[in-house]
Structure 1
Amino acid sequence: MIEWLTFTQVAIALAAGVLCLVLGLARRTPGDLTMGATALVALLLIAQLVVSAVAPSAGNHPRGSLLEYWMYQIAIVLVPLIAMAWALIDRTRWSVVVLGVAGLAVSVMLVRMWTIWTNHAI
């Protein structure tokens, strides 16, 4: 994993999560802003997936459990996609709250993936 890319993704996922939580608790329904923020998080996670696949060939090998890392990688890509599908089906304010929770969950999972890759304890 590339450290600056990972922590940029954490910051964006946190911002998107807080934005969606605030808008959901303010009784806003899913819209371009909330869906767009979550879509940006999802696109960055797909980029992370590609970077993680290419990184070992560039000499950036994981130091932790490779199986655990890839299970996180697969799950983390699904989290915002499933939340967005939920928001498209259930057009209430609670689906925006779900988008917010997904953003916060992604940020935590990214930090955990970084600790697995680098074998650092935080």
Structure 2
Amino acid sequence: MIIWFTTLQIVVAVAAGAFCAIAGLAGRRPSDFSVGALALVEVLLIGQIVMAIVAPFAGNPPSGDPLEFWVYLVSAALLPIGGVIWALLERSRWSTVILGVIALAVAIMLWRMQVIWTVQVG
């Protein structure tokens, strides 16, 4: 993983999570802004998937368990999709809060993926 890209993803996910959580607690239903924030998180996760495929061939293999890394990455990529589907089916303020919680969970998962990729020694 590339640290600057991971940091960018975490910052975007935390910002999206805070925005959605605050908007939901303020009574806002899912909108283009809240769904778009999760879509941006998803696009960055897809970029991370591409980087994780290419990185070992470029001489940057994970130092931790690759299976654990990929389970985290695939799960993180599926969370925003599921959250947006839920938000579109149940258009309530709590759906917007859930979008925020999902974005914050993705931020935590990204940090864990960075730790798995760089810190652990097999």
Superposition TM-score tier, normalisation by shorter sequence? over 0.9
Cα distance in 1 for partners of 2:69, 2:60 equals 14
Q: Give RMSD over aligned pairs.
A: 0.7
Cα distance in 2 for partners of 1:10, 1:34 equals 17
Per the alignment, residue 111 of structure 2 pairs with 111
Per the alignment, residue 78 of structure 2 pairs with 78
Per the alignment, residue 6 of structure 2 pairs with 6
Give the paired residue count: 120
Give the aligned residue type for 1:66. Answer: P
Instruction: Kindly state the Cα deviation for residue 65 of structure 1 after the two structures are TM-superposed.
Output: 0.6
Per the alignment, residue 62 of structure 2 pairs with 62
Per the alignment, residue 102 of structure 2 pairs with 102
Instruction: Kindly state the Cα deviation for residue 80 of structure 1 after the two structures are TM-superposed.
Output: 0.6
Identity %: 51
TM-score (norm 1): 0.97
Per the alignment, residue 32 of structure 2 pairs with 32
Instruction: Kindly state the Cα deviation for residue 83 of structure 1 after the two structures are TM-superposed.
Output: 0.4
Cα distance in 2 for partners of 1:12, 1:73 equals 16
**Secondary structure, in 3 states, of the residue corresponding to 1:67?**
helix
Runs of 4 or more, structure 1, over 6 Å off, are: none
Cα distance in 2 for partners of 1:19, 1:27 equals 12
Residue by residue, what CA displacement relative to the aligned partner does 1:38-88 show, whole Å, maximum 9, x if unpaired? 100011001100000110011111000111001101100001110000001
Give the aligned residue type for 2:103. Answer: G
Give the aligned residue type for 2:7. Answer: F
Cα distance in 2 for partners of 1:67, 1:39 equals 26
Structure 1 unmatched runs, 5+: none
Cα distance in 1 for partners of 2:104, 2:9 equals 11
Give the aligned residue type for 1:54. Answer: V
Cα distance in 1 for partners of 2:35, 2:74 equals 21
Instruction: Kindly state the Cα deviation for residue 119 of structure 1 after the two structures are TM-superposed.
Output: 1.8
